[in-house]
């Protein structure tokens, strides 16, 4: 199992709506992520800068690279696009983060 972390950014004034939508995550989206080998997925918000920090654990044999082609993932991206910085295909703009410390 490996872990990845990345950052994203919200548009101004949408933090409550972003949280609400994730509180009501679509069961079919959650199932798709789990089927791809993603687990223990958390997103944190730094409210002052609107920066989101995400961490996911992924099975070594994950299929996460195929998720952008999934219709449910693309539908979620379209649903979330008004709330965050996105690429032209509505995927979130992400920046990978490098781990510099870990303590078990």
- Which residues are designated catalytic? 22
- Quote the pTM value: 0.92
Q: Which architecture, in CATH terms, is 2-97?
A: 2-Layer Sandwich (3.30)
The whole-angstrom separation of Cα 39 and Cα 98 is 19
To 5 degrees, how large is the angle CA 34–CA 30–CA 45?
A: 105
Domain ranges of the chain: 2-97
Tell me the pLDDT tens digit for each residue of 50-61: 999 999 999 999
- Is 96 a residue whose pLDDT tops 90? yes
């Amino acid at each position: 199992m490996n872990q990845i972390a990345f950052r994203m950014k919200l548009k101004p004034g949408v933090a409550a709506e972003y949280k609400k939508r994730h509180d009501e995550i679509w069961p079919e989206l959650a199932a798709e992520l789990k089927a791809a080998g993603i687990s223990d997925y958390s997103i944190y918000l730094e409210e002052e800068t609107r920066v989101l920090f995400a961490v996911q654990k992924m099975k070594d044999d994950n299929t996460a690279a195929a998720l952008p082609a999934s219709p449910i993932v693309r539908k979620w991206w379209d649903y979330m696009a008004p709330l965050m910085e996105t690429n032209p295909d509505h995927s979130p703009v992400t920046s990978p983060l490098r781990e510099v410390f870990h303590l078990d």
